[in-house]
Every structure is written in C-alpha cells, then in structure tokens.
Structure 1
C-alpha cells in the first residue's frame, strides 16, 4: 500500500478535522501518500481529489466542521455511481480509503468490498448512534454545547419560575438528550428509546410544584415527536411554559479535548489497520481501548443507550 485516501461524509461533527489530521500525519509518518477526497462520495465520483501534506493539516485540530467538506450522494447508492467512484480511485492509484462519518457512510464503504477496495471507517457523528463503539467523534462536544445552553436557560427559568422544553438533536437515538439531561439536571428526559408519556411528564411536574420547585427543564430528543406539541400540552395544563429548539448549533464549535484525543487515536488506528491489510472494518473505542470491528456489527445492529442513566436521572430529579 502506497497511497490512501480520506473523506468525510454525512453530517459534520466536531473532531472530524482532528481525525483527518491524524490520518494524514500518521500516513505520511509510515511512508504513505495521503489524498483528500472533497465532499464525500459525491466528490469521489466527480474526482475532487487532492494530495494532502503535513502543512495542509496544520492548525486544524481545534476547528469544528470538516475541511474536506461533506455532502450526501444519491448517485453513490447506485452501482453505476460506485463504479465511477472506483474508477477515480484507480485513476489516482489510491490503494485504500478511510471514511469518516456515520451509519450511511459505512454502508457506502461496505459496498466497495465488491471492487476489492480496502476501506476503514471512523465513527464521526454527534448522535453517538453507532453500534460497536462506546463513543463517536463529536458526541462529547455536542453534549457540552447543549449543557452550556441548558445552564443559561435554567437561569431564565429560575428567574421567571417557568418550565422550559428544550429540543435537542437525535432523530433515532437519544444519547444527546440523555447525557445532557443527566448532566444538566433536567427534571424530565424524553428519548426515542423510552418515550415518556405526557401523563407521566405532567405528573412529575405537578409533584415538583407541590414540593416547592418553581422551575423545570424538560429535554426532548427530536426523534420523539414535536416539542412544540409537548409545550402546548403543558400550557393547556396551566403551566407557564417556554420552548427552545437548539438546532444546528449543536453541530458546530471547537471540539473538546476528549473529542480531539478520540479522533487522533481513531485516525491513526485506521491507517494502522490499512497497513495491516484489514478492510471493511470500523474503528471503535471500548473501555478506553481503540480496536477495529466488522462493518456488519456497526451497520446491522442498532445502538442502545445506557438506560441506567435514564433511571438515574429520574431518581436525581425528584
């Protein structure tokens, strides 16, 4: 193996740049030429490929987003599109590929097995919804961003003695809401894996009010349903309620130290795996050890949050 490529695909996540940096510098350290593929699989099909140098990845470890940009590609889902991508890899004599992204990114990379293109995946998604790894790149930064916002919202909630419903990202997974809710002292956490019924939410709030608590925070993962409707139902119960949707602010920002270290370890491990001849595997961290697992484990099995955290939050929010 003499040349490898690296791309980012799907939603951006803080720490992706740190992973790119690790792939480039680790690859060059081991005598490889490293090429950057811009705009994910779409850019791969179009041949948006450039050699990356040590200096190119200087001063990017602290930057959010991805310097290689990201895009979704419907064309890559077709066999014709994948064949075009493979031809580009052959044109640039790229022997292996590191793909940084989430579930869809890995599904795309797994399709390259048919063409004997070695590919290693690095999990980069704020949702932490990839099976087989304890953490994904960007998750720690996202929950810290949420906590910073929740802390500020609580100041206002306390001042005006109100209930705030805060919607966070998590279409299919509730890890952001769960972790940020526990760390931020939320009175109720509503996630797709255990959607709390409104009767229970209202009962918990009424009990809090009766005990003398004057304000509350309810954290809702977007995949549960409409946070607007939840706030509306609380208002119908006579509760002074406000709604905040945090949105894409959760994706941005400088990555935390944890995400920078995680991305650096995973990026370097991806290069190591390619050099060892491994293919179609994902880099994962388990019990603080960086390992590789088969793509199938990441793609075919659904990630499950640590539900004991959910139970703990209910105990501590009384």
Structure 2
C-alpha cells in the first residue's frame, strides 16, 4: 500500500458488486489480520457476507460495527473517533485497519461522506491507520478522487492525482445548520466575571439531568474552555444554553464573533503553542463537539451521550 511509513493510508475503493469488493479487500484485510493488527469494518450486510466468504474464518477477528450507529454522529465526530482509536491503540506503533463503506443511510446526505473524508485527511495525518473506503463504482468518482489520496482498483493502489484541500471541500459542503432543540433548561449570558458561576450552573444542571459525577466534571471543564475562549478571544460576552435530550445532555455556547477554524478540535495543538487547546480539550472531554460559524456568530455545541 502507498503512504508514508507508519503514517496514514486513506484509499477509496470503488466496487460494482459485493464479490468484486471482497476481492479488493481480501488482500489488505488478510495481511492486517495475519500481522495480528486490529481490523474494524463498517459494511452493509451483503458486503460483510461477501468478505466473510472471501477470507473465511479469519473474519472472526474482524470487529464489525453497525453503520447506522457509526454514522448517526456528525462527520467530524466520526473522523475524530477513528483518529482517537489509532492514538489509543495498545501499542503506539500498531497499525489499525478500518474498512468504512460509503452507503445510503437514513437521515444521512451525500455531503456527509465528503465532509468525513476531508476530515479524515486532517485527523489521521501521521497516524498508523489504514482507512479503506468502499464506494459504488457508479458514484461521482471525481469526488472520490478529490477526497482520497489513493484509489484501490484491480488490487493495485494508485495515487488519485486529484486530491483537494480539505478546508476548501468543507467550505463547499458545510454541515447542516444546528437543529432546534426546543426550550432550554438554562439560557444565560456571561462575561469573564461570571465564569465561576457558570461552572457551578453547568454542574448543577447536568447533575439534576442525571449525568454521573465523572461526566459532570468533564462537561464543566469542557464548557469552561469554550466559554473562556468566547470571552477572551471573542467579543467578551457569550450565551450559554443547555438541554436534556433523548441523545444526551447538550451545552451550547454562542457569541457574535466568527471562528476561522475549519476543523475545530480535531488536531492536537503544538506543545509549544497556546492557541487551540480549548477546542481540543473540549473535543476530548465531550462525546460530540459541533461548531457552526458565520457572519452572525459562532455556536459551539457539546454533547454528553445518554447512557
């Protein structure tokens, strides 16, 4: 496979039918399993069955995940979780292989896959992870080439030659606007002086909503990082809202400033730098971090998942 030694491999794998896809995947998947490396697959039932038929009982060592469960989350969160999976491997040098099929799923638009693959090119940079992304051969292969450094065809891995800048792609295919979560439990404006009271309010409200103490502590720290960024690097005044939803507990910070960060919280800040730590830390502490920013202001939502 192509890619820097020890670094990311991100390949698009066009396929016409399950048997053809299994033939493309059998080599790299079998090699990873033979090396004792972890393999995770997110495939529909037909492609999972075809891969199992192609490599037999070896698939017992593959961790198959439910596509709906994986992709119910925002694209940036999915990319962050794949990166986190690699960073937290039992052995730092161990390569992880992920087979993640592009497919039609309820509530998922086609732009989800573009945002996801663009984000993967950022989040996985330098990590020992192989992402194999099966996609229908009759899909828009120009977009596949634009989002994958390499295409795997007929058992060969070749540079796509048309990779586009991830930030430009995300600007062209932005995430959908923030969904309306209804009447919040809390709606409070704050400035620098109000930050201590804000932390207490987050702890009190999330505890009352049923979060366990560990998650409460993480959320308080995450909200504090975002709120501090808002007042120190933004306009000096922010707004906090919180909800308890079926998906989990949500805290949102809004201010009228604009954030020029295309992949917020996705890349660890430099040890020598001071900017970017708040978003990174909040992303690590919350289950989901989402950011929307335009001329009307910036919304940062942090979700701690239910259960």
Same structural fold, with TM-score higher than 0.5 when normalized by the shorter chain: no
Name the structure where helix makes up a greater proportion of residues. 1
Name the structure where strand makes up a greater proportion of residues. 2
Query: Scaled by the length of structure 1, what TM-score is found?
Result: 0.29
